[in-house]
Amino acid sequence: MASMSTHTRRSLADAPFLAAATGGTPHRRPVWFMRQAGRSLPEYRELRAGIGMLESCFDPELVCEITMQPIRRHDVDAAILFSDIVVPLKAAGIDLDIVPGVGPVVANPVRTLADIRGLPRLRPEEVGAVVGGIELLLDALGKTPLIGFAGAPFTLASYLVEGGPSKHHERTKAMMLADPAAWHELMGVLTDITIEFLRAQLNAGVDAMQLFDSWAGALPLAQYREYVLPHSERVFAELAAYGVPRIHFGVGTGELLGAMGEAGADIVGVDWRVPLTDAVRRVGPGKGLQGNLDPAVLFAGASAIDAEVRRIAHEADEAIAMGATGHIFNLGHGVLPDTDPGVITETVALIHSLAMPL
């Protein structure tokens, strides 16, 4: 069982995000957006000028300020910790950097059993700066919940094996299929790192957690079940004792939604390709849904946004009638960098204005 925090968790039962996430009835439709903090905000670009991404992630004051920016601007119902999925790898001592315009680049890709066995483990003190940022945020956020997050083991593995972002994940799939024993050993190490990173955030007092399996959609269902699902299951199982809502999200994972629902999360994130009414059928009743406005819709003008937001709200209400325990409005992926922040604010206000079902 997870070692529990001595931190007194905040009482935020009335917060719409937490009400929807725990099967309650929120007083308004809760909404937050993946990548709501970041490049779409001019105040973020000004603050980050000349400061590297990873440097920002290890500065508690910057973590706090960047996380707070969309809360002040957009009136969203939850904050998500400003960090990056490769932060725990960097903290553990893996030589990597986030290259502007490219993404995470790993100096020495993991390709052999010796490479796997040479990987470091993460110690809680190595993410002390992240914990410090959370402590500042809990004071700054007031009644707004804070979501902690981590990259799922498969997505971390894909970066380590490929050496950086990949369109086809050919080296990752080759290791998985050609040497399953080595693959599962690698996934075991990364599962340990993911759990340790999330445990540090939960001990610090985050109110919910999200596991991002950004690249799991590259796999067919049978491979996902065999090579990925057991490790994601362990993440959720080992953190269940904290009693906070757990969200599971991937991109292009429509065919995997049922299996992702089995991994143990309370809420399954849905990208824009799958209607919420189809998602509830695939995931099954008894879990919440999060999503799923296409980020590109925010470029289409007020009438298109209005129509899409109302459609998704209607589908969400139908999904709840079909057995979903709640719905949290979100994008089907992250805010795109060139999105007009004023449009985001207006979209949040529109979502809040839509009546809840009786």
Annotated catalytic residues are 35, 39, 48, 84, 159
Do 191 and 153 form a contact (C-beta atoms < 8 A)? yes
Class of residue 29 by CB neighbours under 10 A (exposed 0-12, middle 13-18, buried 19+): buried
Q: Find out whether 88 and 44 touch, Cβ atoms under 8 Å.
A: no
Query: Are 20 and 30 a contacting pair, CB within 8 Å?
Result: yes
Peptide bond before residue 292 is cis, with ω within 30 degrees of 0: yes
Secondary structure (3-state) at 249: strand
**Alpha carbon distance 149, 84 (integer Å):** 9
Neighbours of 221 (CB within 10 A): 14
Buried/exposed 114-134: b ≥16 CB within 10 Å, e otherwise: eebeebeebeeebbebbbbbb
**Beta-strand relationship, 146-151 and 267-269:** unpaired
Cα 135 vs. chain centroid, distance in angstroms? 20
What is the rounded CA–CA span in Å between residue 229 and residue 231? 5
